[in-house]
Structure 1
Amino acid sequence: MNVQNPLIAQGITDAITAETPQINLIPDDAPFDPAQRQWLNGLFTGLSALAASAAAEGAEPELAKMHVLYGSQSGNCEALSKDLRKHAATQGFEAEVAALNDVSIADLTGMERVLFLVATFGEGEPTDNAAKFFATLMAEDCAPLPASLTYSVCGLGDTSYADFNKCATDVDARLAELGATRVADLVACDVDFEDDYADWKTLVFETEAFQSASAGVAAPVVIDAEPQPLFDKNRPFMASLMVSEKLSGEASAKCVNHIELSLAGGGVDLDYAAGDALGLWPLNCPSDVADLLQAAGLTGRETVTLKSGPAQLRAALTTRLDIATVTPKTREALGVTDVADEVQVLDLVHQIGAVDAQVLADALRPLQPRLYSISSSPKAHPGEVHLTVGEVRYDLNGRACKGVASIFLADRLHTGAMVGVYVQKSAHFHPPSDDTKPLIMIGPGTGIAPFRAFLEEREARGASGKNWLFFGDQHASCDYLYQDQMEAWKDSGLLTELSLAWSRDGAEKVYVQTLLQERASEVFAWLEEGAALYICGDASRMAVDVEKALLVIIAQGLSADEAAAQAYLDAMAADHRYQRDVY
């Protein structure tokens, strides 16, 4: 036999000379003499070596490890973390993505390359899925971090707030203080974060720490397990208005509308799930645009240059620019710094008089979409999406002001008219996948929106789990949103419990947290049965007061202190049994 492959030939030679261990596949009782048996075993040894060599040559180089950690409230940082993971793969890295609360300081100590995406929520506060990590990191007794931990931070915030990007700034500084090595400076993004984020991403992967793995490694083909949606913030779906009707009564101090949008048309579906939010692109009010142009001494026919290219000023002010919000950039561009905090762009322009068209355009930040909790289940309303929208109207400096999106929907979007929308997916704020699990929902005012969707979803799925809704507002007679539907669900048994709090109907103000405390033992019993608990609504007061009430209820149920109650609630959050959609 003429053996031409050197590995096979070497295997036969080694078998004959006994220089390397040989694979013995030929049984002793096989009809071969010792020399033949030795030769055949040598052949198999050589073939095995050939296969091993081929596997080694064909194996892809191992990607270096890195981590992407995010704190996200509305979903932007979470979405960017997925983008960063895909980009990292093209640079020769395998990126592990996690929410900050899912990482301990001990975990962080063992990491080598970490990119942080940190949103600031409310008045300089960490997001729900970063709060625990943030508290631990900022604690005086936080353990030091090794210099081998290299990192960079990208923050998402809003320059109209005094504590712009506070959480990202604090995390960035604290990591360095504890001993970690910053490889790229903090990038603090405003609401139009896309360009600044892209620049940061490029900068990070130009640093030495994030280049070493990609040297000599061909970029792999990245197969996205989560395909990009057809529609997003920059590519909205054009939905048409079907229904806009007032939910609140005439005597109400508020005006809340029920909105139904059609998702039909073009043969392309806009998919959503109960618990998701809908991003909606509004248009500025024409009369507000006219007031601003008049104050600036402009006609609106002037041509200005935006990031996207040239545009007529009136069109830009109507569709592309935020004509109300004052940011530090606005003050600087208009040369007005000594003004009160509570002002709008029109107030500044009135103060300075005539403004150049391009200067005005440069002073304004881009108009942003508004996010609304979806109040329908696609199982109950296929081809539709419903919203529950409170009109925003208020007085400021002697002027009647209004919310951009809520009044666009209420006053100017007529039946059949089109509006650009997209779905902002929620990671965990969905009805439990286990249809037998009990569900507690706390949503006063327009916070009822996602829970209407939850209940429609559970009804459509035939879920057997118990449902308890806490709802409230000022007056039962005019503020009971979706009253007929809620009462019907109570009568049918879908709503096992319906607790209603009216803060202005009695001598004492009653809120949802009041009812929680009144039913403390039953609430705790539901939690012990494994109930999932959800909160939706005002972040600054209601959600804070509800959480305080929950901690008292849990401490009483455990016969323990507040620390034990907090640990219980933290464990629920880690198991996604405690979720908040607050704003």
Structure 2
Amino acid sequence: MSKSQYTLNIIYGSRTGNSKAVAVLAKEFAKHLGLECDCKSMDKFDFNSFKDLKNLIIIVSTHGEGEPPVPAEDFHAFIHSLAAPNMQGTKYAVLGLGDSSYRYFAQTGADFDLQLEKLGANRIQPVEKCDIDFEEKSKNWVKQTVDKFAETLPKKKKSEKKKFVFQLKLDDNLHYNAYKATVIHKELLNGENASHPTMNISFSLVNSGIDFHPGDLVGIYASNSRLLVDKLLKKMGFDPTLLVGSGENKKMLKVALIHDYELTLITPVVLEKYAGLVKNEKLKNLLKDQVKLVEYVKNSDVLDMVIDFHGDFKVDDFLKTLRKLTPRLYSAASYRPERQDQVDLTIRILNYEYNNREHSGVCSSYVWKRLEIGDTAPLFVEVNSRFRLPEDKKVPVIMVATGTGIAPFRSFLQYRNMQNAEGCNWLFFGERNSSTDFFYKDELMQYQKKGLLTKIDTAFSRDSENKHYIYHRLLEKGEEIYHWIQEGANIYICGNKRTMAGDVRNALSEIIRINGNLTKEQTSVFVKQLRTEKRLQEDVY
């Protein structure tokens, strides 16, 4: 029997460290049981050895719209390629981590699971999907899965410790290690009466040690509105000073609700957990109607849920239904050599009326209503290697943005200006009204006057009776866009995944098909090659 036949191989793809923590736990439990075990990150794994694996655990997170995290990209592409080997005789199990507020929840885990089956491997249990409050579910999965493999794998000497402690080694100090950045400027870009009020906010990074590049993301740890928390506590009838949590993590209920739990949005998963708690028939019926369910979670928050579906429950049980409050990510909207100690962000202020009361986004209301000049907010930079300018300064660049998607392109242009880049730059920008929503107009006009911004085309959908969107503008300029592509241009897309991304992708495909005189199949291959060569990049949200 070869070593690979009796080794449990754990391969993980992790962006923030959560998948890695689960993988390490699985490795430690396997060794506790006396199993031979090997644990590697996907970006460190030797593809040539994949065919030899007979006992396989995959643990992977999902990024954005169902995409693998950066460390998993090459491995994900490999097992979906013609180079992937036949895996008959291999037993496997997959755990996918994700965020149920996204349409393609834990999609990368599902991708691996399905492809391994297609390659002939034998699934020992269904793929498991974990939401952002993944800790307990993932620990149970580790025990169940490793125990399953242990039924058939030979064991060395077991650990002398009689009981194994299932504890994830997470970096719980990320929030506390975030840099407390000072607000040095903030302004509305279009006015509070605009249909979508949008702001620019500048943070000082002096002495932070933070380095960022155009395309990178800035995460902000926001807190919930005290007013919203007070309303929620009043509705539930709970004492705000009640201590919750355990050990060193004990804190007053009100403090926990302000800082630790997601209150401004809910997901179907949250509603399902809450339904198990309150036994409300109205809620049970809602969960059976997918159309109404999607519409409900689109506009509702936790207070709406408690008001609409009344029930009796204990505090600790209620908190278990909620999601942990996660940082909000925004594209860096600046890169100026004379101001490398500051970063600008472009943030849409989410505020709307629903159920006869005002609803707000947790982070946009935090930075606009509760942060003043001189106040600090905990933030960090997340590298976004999927969205990078070409190293060659001569390469032409086409940028397609709607709304706050303009943010990274402002930093792109500032960076190319600093570089004295020779490559041409073409910006397509779409919003509602030209009079209020042409963000950073003066700066962009200066770049065009200077010659840095070669071309700029806009589409303001509410400026005329016949609504004109950004994809219409792309199609109008199709012949010239195709010429730029043929000349080696890189294409970048940034904007809302639901309202623009699909239309822009379709427009680009149509431009390539018509001007290249290609079939649909040939067009698909062409676009795929652009992505492979990193000449077509997206940052959609």
Which TM bucket (shorter chain)? 0.7 to 0.9
Q: Do 2:219 and 2:327's aligned partners in 1 also have CA atoms closer than 8 Å?
A: yes
The equivalent position to 1:379 in structure 2, one of 337, 340, 355, is: 337
Q: Which residue of 1 aligns with 2:378?
A: 420
Q: Which sits farther off after the overlay, 519-528 or 393-402?
A: 393-402
Alpha-carbon shift at residue 359 of structure 1 (Å): 3.3
Q: Which residue of 2 aligns with 1:296?
A: 236
Q: Do 1:441 and 1:451's aligned partners in 2 also have CA atoms closer than 8 Å?
A: yes
Q: Do 1:240 and 1:418's aligned partners in 2 also have CA atoms closer than 8 Å?
A: yes
Alpha-carbon shift at residue 492 of structure 1 (Å): 0.5
SS in structure 2 opposite 1:394? strand
The equivalent position to 2:263 in structure 1, one of 320, 323, 328, is: 323
Q: Which sits farther off after the overlay, 309-318 or 356-365?
A: 356-365
Pair member with larger Rg = 1
Say whether residues 1:344 and 2:301 are aligned partners: yes
- For 1:99 and 1:511, the matched residues in 2 are separated by 43
Q: Do 1:283 and 1:318's aligned partners in 2 also have CA atoms closer than 8 Å?
A: yes
Alpha-carbon shift at residue 289 of structure 1 (Å): 0.6
Say whether residues 1:148 and 2:89 are aligned partners: yes
Say whether residues 1:172 and 2:130 are aligned partners: no
- For 2:59 and 2:316, the matched residues in 1 are separated by 36
Q: Which residue of 1 aligns with 2:348?
A: 390
Q: Do 2:10 and 2:37's aligned partners in 1 also have CA atoms closer than 8 Å?
A: no
The equivalent position to 1:536 in structure 2, one of 491, 494, 515, is: 494
Q: Do 2:61 and 2:109's aligned partners in 1 also have CA atoms closer than 8 Å?
A: yes
SS in structure 1 opposite 2:323? coil
Q: How does 1:107-122 map to 2 (within 5 A)?
A: 113=56, 115-119=58-62
Q: Which residue of 2 aligns with 1:50?
A: none
Q: Which residue of 1 aligns with 2:167?
A: none
Say whether residues 1:462 and 2:405 are aligned partners: no
The equivalent position to 1:496 in structure 2, one of 443, 450, 454, is: 454
Q: Do 1:272 and 1:378's aligned partners in 2 also have CA atoms closer than 8 Å?
A: no
Q: With CA pairs under 8 Å and 6+ residues apart, which has the higher RCO, 1 or 2?
A: 2
SS in structure 2 opposite 1:147? coil
Give the structure-1-normalised TM-score.
Answer: 0.74
**Does the C-alpha gap of structure 1 residues 552 and 481 become closer, same or farther in structure 2, counting only changes over 3 Å?**
same
What's the CA shift string for 1:302-328, capped at 9, x where partnerless? 111269621101111111112244402
What's the CA shift string for 1:185-208, capped at 9, x where partnerless? 634221234665577678877775
**What amino acid sits opposite 1:429 in the alignment?**
F
Q: Which residue of 2 aligns with 1:30?
A: none
- For 1:212 and 1:422, the matched residues in 2 are separated by 43
What's the CA shift string for 1:180-235, capped at 9, x where partnerless? 133576342212346655776788777759x999979xxxxxxxxxxx99995563
What's the CA shift string for 1:226-245, capped at 9, x where partnerless? xx999955632211111110
Q: Which residue of 1 aligns with 2:389?
A: 431
Q: Which residue of 1 aligns with 2:164?
A: none
The equivalent position to 2:181 in structure 1, one of 222, 227, 239, is: 239
Say whether residues 1:182 and 2:123 are aligned partners: yes
SS in structure 2 opposite 1:427? coil
- For 2:104 and 2:373, the matched residues in 1 are separated by 40
- Would you say how many aligned residue pairs link Structure 1 and Structure 2? 497
Alpha-carbon shift at residue 570 of structure 1 (Å): 0.6
Q: Which residue of 2 aligns with 1:220?
A: none
- For 2:505 and 2:379, the matched residues in 1 are separated by 32
Q: CA RMSD in A?
A: 4.2
SS in structure 2 opposite 1:331? helix
- For 2:273 and 2:332, the matched residues in 1 are separated by 33
Q: Do 2:62 and 2:69's aligned partners in 1 also have CA atoms closer than 8 Å?
A: no
Q: Which residue of 2 aligns with 1:311?
A: 251
**What amino acid sits opposite 2:42 in the alignment?**
V
**What amino acid sits opposite 1:349 in the alignment?**
V
**What amino acid sits opposite 1:404 in the alignment?**
V
What's the CA shift string for 1:426-473, capped at 9, x where partnerless? 123111111111111101111101100111111112211111110121
Alpha-carbon shift at residue 280 of structure 1 (Å): 0.8
Say whether residues 1:505 and 2:505 are aligned partners: no
- For 1:116 and 1:304, the matched residues in 2 are separated by 31
**What amino acid sits opposite 2:255 in the alignment?**
A
What's the CA shift string for 1:246-281, capped at 9, x where partnerless? 0014652110000111122xx441221110111111
**Does the C-alpha gap of structure 1 residues 550 and 229 become closer, same or farther in structure 2, counting only changes over 3 Å?**
farther
Percent sequence identity over aligned pairs: 28
- For 2:516 and 2:74, the matched residues in 1 are separated by 22
**What amino acid sits opposite 2:131 in the alignment?**
D
Note the residue ranges of structure 2 that are not aligned, 5 or more in a row.
1-6, 158-169, 287-292
Alpha-carbon shift at residue 294 of structure 1 (Å): 0.8
- For 1:290 and 1:479, the matched residues in 2 are separated by 35
What's the CA shift string for 1:125-173, capped at 9, x where partnerless? 556989999999999x999953234433221233456875466346525
Say whether residues 1:567 and 2:525 are aligned partners: yes
- For 2:484 and 2:326, the matched residues in 1 are separated by 40
